[in-house]
Amino acid sequence: MLQQETHSPRSSEETRLRIFAAARQLIAKKGRRGTTTREIAELAGVNEATLFRHFGNKDALIDACVLHYCPAVDLQAFLPNRDGNIEEDLRAIAHFMTERMESLRDLILATFVEEEQWSAAGDAAWRAPAMIKQILTDYMAARVQRGELEGDPVLMARLFMGTIFAYVVGRKRMHYPDYTLDQIIDFNINVFLNGVRKKN
Amino acid sequence: MLQQETHSPRSSEETRLRIFAAARQLIAKKGRRGTTTREIAELAGVNEATLFRHFGNKDALIDACVLHYCPAVDLQAFLPNRDGNIEEDLRAIAHFMTERMESLRDLILATFVEEEQWSAAGDAAWRAPAMIKQILTDYMAARVQRGELEGDPVLMARLFMGTIFAYVVGRKRMHYPDYTLDQIIDFNINVFLNGVRKKN
DNA sequence: CAACAGTGCAAGTAAGTACTTGCACTCGCG
DNA sequence: CGCGAGTGCAAGTACTTACTTGCACTGTTG
């Protein structure tokens, strides 16, 4: 009796991806609590019941979504050549970090307004930044030991990451339409390097 | 028939303040949407109906709350002595900004997950930072003109604010228990100043 | 004293939300 | 072909939430 010619079934995996994409979009805009399963289903072009058949409940869905978009960092791709020129290294690191944080900005911001019980996904979103922080600290320490920089490597790494964090996150509210990303990164790196380079 | 000896009536203003305090606390923890009027009333020690008698609806309540905690900046107290020592000026500015942003951190973070229709309160929370940005830019420009610093004042102000923003906001996820606020601020200012000070 | 503004309390309403269920359909695979 | 996994659809349940209402009470103010 029921004709259903319009909808062709999709693979299970494709459905998951569509749900993830929709969920992420809504989480970024309204936060975890403000996002409804009905909206996710609608935006994903999927029936609401399918959400629950896949993930069981809303919390598990969103956890899976965040984990899906926040995989572990590719450390190999991130590690700079430790023998290279500092300025070039930092520039490469800054661009890598900026791109990566930019692509996760919405999820990272959403973790700021999460309740404690949701910290599983929140921790996942911050895993990558935490690892990068460590790598950066090691890098700074090596350069200090070589006598190229001077100061506390922990604070140096913190400051360097902070400038990028502020750029990415702050851009949502503070707009600088007259400057390009490269201009800002270059300026920040120059000031930073002038500030921490060892004087002769 | 009903005895009501336990509750002594409070002034209308005191009730408002109690509601604001409770609302702010909950907004910080759960976000705007995650906060229920029932919770606010309970935490404020006030009947839920009183909330609506005061503010009409939940949105108006929260808008009023954010506006109440985000008054215009006291520019006079913020303006540094333009003839003073740069390092001392920046230290004073940094401490002022840090304290101020720290006290508003929860509300500022909440604005990141707001929907567009709620931007009224969101704009209010960002009014102060925007004004400070402008003051800072002017300050940097003046010092550049005097030949004490070199570089683009806009980017300098942006970088300086960014370090503080990153400290305050990032502290929610990135912990540095081994360092005091003063240590970090001093380090950041030193690097910044070394980086932008005019070389002879 | 008398009016009144502000509040507490209890009950209720309408809408939204997470989640379930039973059934029909369809595609791919053995 | 036939079966099963994955899905759409429609209806429904139990719960939460914003918001209302009528009434009793109390401190303040004229």
pLDDT in tens, B176-188: 889 999 999 999 9
pLDDT band at A161 (very low <50, low <70, confident <90, very high): very high
CB-CB under 8 Å, A167 with B162: yes
In terms of Cβ atoms closer than 10 Å to its own Cβ (0-12, 13-18, 19+), residue A33 is buried
Strand D nucleotides, any atom under 7 Å to a protein CB: 5-11, 16-22, 24-27
Kindly identify which residue of chain A lies nearest to residue B149, measuring between CA atoms.
A191
Q: What is the pLDDT of residue A7?
A: 44
A44-59 confidence digits (pLDDT tens): 999 999 999 999 999 9
- pLDDT of A4 over the 60 cut: no
User: Does residue A116 surpass a pLDDT of 70?
Assistant: no
CB contact under 8 A, A161 and B165: no
Given a cut of 70, the residues of chain B with pLDDT beneath it are 1-11, 80-82, 115-119, 200
Of the candidates B28, B97, B33, which has an alpha carbon nearest to the alpha carbon of residue A112? B28
In angstroms, the CA of A115 and the C1' of D14 are apart by 24
Beta bridge partners of B197: B149
Tokens of B141: 């420009």
- Are A163 and B166 an interchain contact pair (Cβ–Cβ within 8 Å)? yes
Q: Is the pLDDT of residue A66 over 50?
A: yes
Residues in chain A within 8 Å Cβ distance of B25: none
One-character DSSP codes across A70-117: -PPP-HHHH---TTS-HHHHHHHHHHHHHHHHHHHHHHHHHHTT--GG
pTM of the model: 0.86
pLDDT value at A151 more than 70: yes
Cβ-based neighbours of B80, under 8 Å, separated by 6 or more: B89, B92, B93, B139
Q: Rounded CA gap, A177 and A180, in Å?
A: 8
pLDDT at B195 (0 to 100): 95
- Specify the nucleotide whose C1' lies closest to residue A6 (CA): D8
In this predicted model, which residue has the larger pLDDT, A59 or A10?
A: A59
Biggest CA–CA distance in chain B, Å, is 87
Note the pLDDT tens digit of each residue in A69-82.
988 777 777 776 66
Q: What does the alpha-carbon distance between residue B159 and residue A188 come to, in Å, rounded to a whole number?
A: 7
pLDDT band at A175 (very low <50, low <70, confident <90, very high): confident
Secondary structure class of A197 (helix, strand, coil): strand
Per-residue flag: A54 CB under 7 A of strand D: yes
Q: What is the mean pLDDT of residues A25-53?
A: 94
Query: In chain B, what percentage of residues exceed pLDDT 70?
Result: 90
Residue A162, CA distances (Å) to A14, A165, A187, B81, B162 in order: 37, 5, 14, 28, 7
Residues close to nucleic acid strand C (C-beta < 7 A): A 1-5, 8-9, 35-38, 48-49, 52-53, 56-59; B 4, 6-7, 9-12, 14-15, 45-50, 53-54
Q: Helix, strand, or coil here: B70?
A: coil
pLDDT at residue number B4:
35
H helical segments located in B45-145: 48-55, 58-69, 75-78, 86-111, 119-145
% pLDDT > 70, chain A: 90
pLDDT of residue B110: 84
The answer to whether A21 touches A69, Cβ cutoff 8 Å, is: no
Give burial (CB, 10 Å; 0-12/13-18/19+) of A122: buried
CA distance B191 to chain A (A): 4
